[in-house]
A and B are shown apart, each in its own frame.
Chain A
């Protein structure tokens, strides 16, 4: 497996459900990111992890909870989401301290009913 992978690719959940999105990078990077892309909006940065430490939380509601157990894995735990949280969630990774080019996974398309 190469690059950045995300599972699941598609997810439908109710507002009372709890689910998790998973991201794995096979590039030897040590910074990982969560972005959200809503319809007709630019990609919005949600969270940044450098060397497993969260260094950025871009005013994201607490119903989104990230977890970075090691530099290769990143999770986004979801609970009591709202329909407006329906979006494409993208994970990216980069070599911290380098030129900062971020490499993206294919995304998880989330629908909250």
Chain B
């Protein structure tokens, strides 16, 4: 039973437009959420995180939104650039900020079209 779900295996967006990646979770004990980006033959790279006490966190072109009541988070990338083409993983951790290990979604492959 997947506790973190990314229902879109892939997403294609035109360069310069906004990319929106979605993630749903089922475990209400999750307290800390992260987005990772992964290129082929590399490990996941941390992008941005948000704790459950917030509903938004912004870092440059990346913004993560958290809707706790809906158990939903999303990653917005604006404007999208060709280098953003990668697989994006949503991850969630428990009360210790994920220090006990993270639960990951299957990933969404983002393709930025020129």
Residues of A within 8 A of B (CB): 4, 6, 31, 33, 35, 40-45, 48, 50, 55-56, 58, 90, 92, 94, 96-107
Q: Are B100 and A55 in contact (CB under 8 A)?
A: yes
B residues sitting closer than 8 Å to A (CB atoms) are 2, 4, 32, 34, 36, 41-46, 49, 51, 89, 91, 93, 96-107
User: Smallest Cβ distance from B10 to chain A, in angstroms?
Assistant: 13
Query: Which residues from B are CB-within-8-Å of A41?
Result: 106
CB contacts (< 8 Å) of A43 on chain B: these are 44, 89, 91, 102, 104
In the complex the two chains form, what is the Cα distance from A98 to B49 in whole Å? 13
B43 lies within 8 A of A100 (CB): no
CB neighbours of A40 from chain B (8 A): 106
- Bound together, the chains give a CA A99 to CA B100 distance in angstroms of 11
List, sorted by A's number, 29 A–B pairs whose CB atoms are closer than 8 Å. Answer: A4-B43, A6-B43, A40-B106, A42-B2, A42-B107, A43-B91, A43-B102, A43-B104, A44-B104, A45-B101, A55-B100, A56-B100, A56-B101, A58-B101, A94-B98, A94-B99, A96-B99, A97-B99, A99-B32, A100-B93, A101-B34, A101-B46, A101-B97, A104-B36, A104-B45, A105-B43, A106-B42, A107-B42, A107-B43
